[in-house]
């Protein structure tokens, strides 16, 4: 998975300068250029983008004129019951508006010809496909997607919380937004989206984005939202996440000259003198060797704890 932040510190510092210059530029999911992207996906026979979840579900969206999309989900565990998520992602997939082909390398290809008509998924021809299995699908109007985007744009927490009661296929919706924004993966888009939401100091909205789209995603970089949770002592949220970025060094403080400090989640908890978060992160396997860095200054958990001058924090690492 590509990181939202480059690993090279010089390039990262340059990137931060550019980011500050671009902060004021407004972005809209339904800008004209994004409509063009949507229209280009409607051409018959085009290969359709897809996303495989950690639970083994293949998600893709089938455009329906200018009205919306059919959100289609295929349970790959039904087709390949012994395969892991990693194995499923290693297969070759080719999806169009009328065919699905899955190349299994040493095994026969799994394929179907299909059409979606009158709210039915009709398979006309199949090869090595379970006879009694049909993908799940649901129509989502473009206006509904636009409304959801507007809820985020206007920081409408109440409206976003109401979405929890719906039966919407959020994996497909996340894929739709990722494609229209021009991101190569849903994880890359999600990290960028959370970064922009937190830039507006909308922590509750960032949490809701994570709750709707990323609760079961173990690939996404969740450092920024977890760092914010530690700052706000939101242990309830922290305990509900997968801690994907548990031991990753992420940006903490950006200084006036665009130099920056980095820390792990444990490092952030130490800086905040958050004993409860420290204890929880240690239980989950947080490393204590390298938790903070500024330029060439690298500190362990004990060294960083000493800088806090808190006897309670220091004692945890003695």
CATH number at residue 298: 1.25.40.20
H/E stretch holding 11 reads: helix 9-22
Q: Say if 15 falls within a structural domain.
A: no
What is the total count of domains within the chain?
A: 2
Q: Say if 24 falls within a structural domain.
A: no
189, 168, 170: which is closest to 178 by C-alpha?
189
- Final residue in a domain of this structure, among 92, 110, 140: 140
- Is the per-residue pLDDT at 28 higher than 90? no
- Final residue in a domain of this structure, among 109, 140, 171: 140
Q: How far is CA 70 from CA 123, 131, 178, 241, 291, in A?
A: 16, 22, 16, 30, 45
> How far from chain centre, in Å, is Cα 104?
27
Q: Say if 266 falls within a structural domain.
A: yes
Give the pLDDT confidence score for residue 119 in this predicted structure. Answer: 85
- Is the per-residue pLDDT at 227 higher than 90? yes
Q: How far is CA 25 from CA 18, 20, 21, 22, 201, in A?
A: 12, 10, 9, 6, 17
Average pLDDT over residues 138-158: 96
In sequence order, the β-bridge partners of residue 102 are: 93, 110
Q: Say if 235 falls within a structural domain.
A: yes
Are residues 318 and 226 part of one domain? yes
Read off the pLDDT band of 40 (50, 70, 90). Answer: very low
What does the alpha-carbon distance between residue 287 and residue 290 come to, in Å, rounded to a whole number? 7
Q: Which domain holds residue 75?
A: 40-140
Q: Say if 205 falls within a structural domain.
A: no
1, 126, 117, 142: which is closest to 74 by C-alpha?
126
Q: Which two tokens stand for residue 271?
A: 């800086």
- Final residue in a domain of this structure, among 86, 114, 140: 140
Q: Are 60 and 47 in contact (CB under 8 A)?
A: no
Average pLDDT along the chain = 88
Q: Say if 51 falls within a structural domain.
A: yes
What does the alpha-carbon distance between residue 55 and residue 87 come to, in Å, rounded to a whole number? 12
């Amino acid at each position: 998975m590509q990181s939202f932040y480059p690993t090279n510190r010089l390039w990262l510092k340059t990137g931060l300068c550019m980011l500050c210059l671009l902060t004021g530029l407004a972005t809209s999911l339904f800008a004209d250029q994004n409509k063009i992207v949507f229209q280009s996906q409607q051409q018959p026979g085009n290969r359709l983008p897809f996303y495989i979840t950690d639970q083994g579900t293949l998600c893709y969206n089938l455009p329906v004129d200018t009205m919306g999309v059919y959100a289609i989900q295929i349970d790959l565990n039904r087709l390949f019951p012994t395969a892991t998520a990693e194995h499923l992602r290693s297969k070759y997939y080719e999806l169009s508006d009328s065919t699905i082909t899955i190349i299994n390398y040493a095994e026969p290809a799994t394929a179907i010809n299909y059409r979606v008509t009158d709210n039915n998924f009709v398979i006309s021809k199949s090869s090595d496909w379970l006879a009694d299995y049909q993908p799940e699908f649901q129509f989502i109007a473009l206006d509904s997607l636009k409304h959801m985007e507007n809820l985020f744009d206007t920081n409408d927490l109440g409206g976003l919380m109401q979405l929890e009661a719906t039966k919407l296929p959020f994996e497909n919706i996340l894929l739709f937004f990722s494609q229209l924004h021009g991101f190569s993966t849903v994880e890359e888009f999600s990290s960028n989206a959370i970064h922009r939401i937190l830039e507006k100091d909308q922590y509750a909205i960032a949490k809701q984005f994570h709750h709707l789209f990323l609760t079961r995603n173990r690939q996404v970089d969740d450092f920024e939202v977890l760092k914010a949770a530690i700052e706000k002592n939101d242990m309830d949220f922290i305990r509900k996440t997968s801690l994907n970025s548990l031991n990753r060094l992420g940006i903490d403080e950006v200084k006036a000259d665009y130099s920056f400090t980095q820390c792990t989640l444990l490092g952030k908890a130490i800086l905040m003198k958050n004993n409860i978060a420290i204890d929880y992160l240690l239980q989950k396997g947080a490393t204590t060797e390298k938790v903070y860095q500024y330029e060439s200054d690298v500190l362990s958990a004990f060294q960083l704890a000493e800088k806090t001058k808190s006897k309670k924090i220091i004692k945890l690492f003695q």
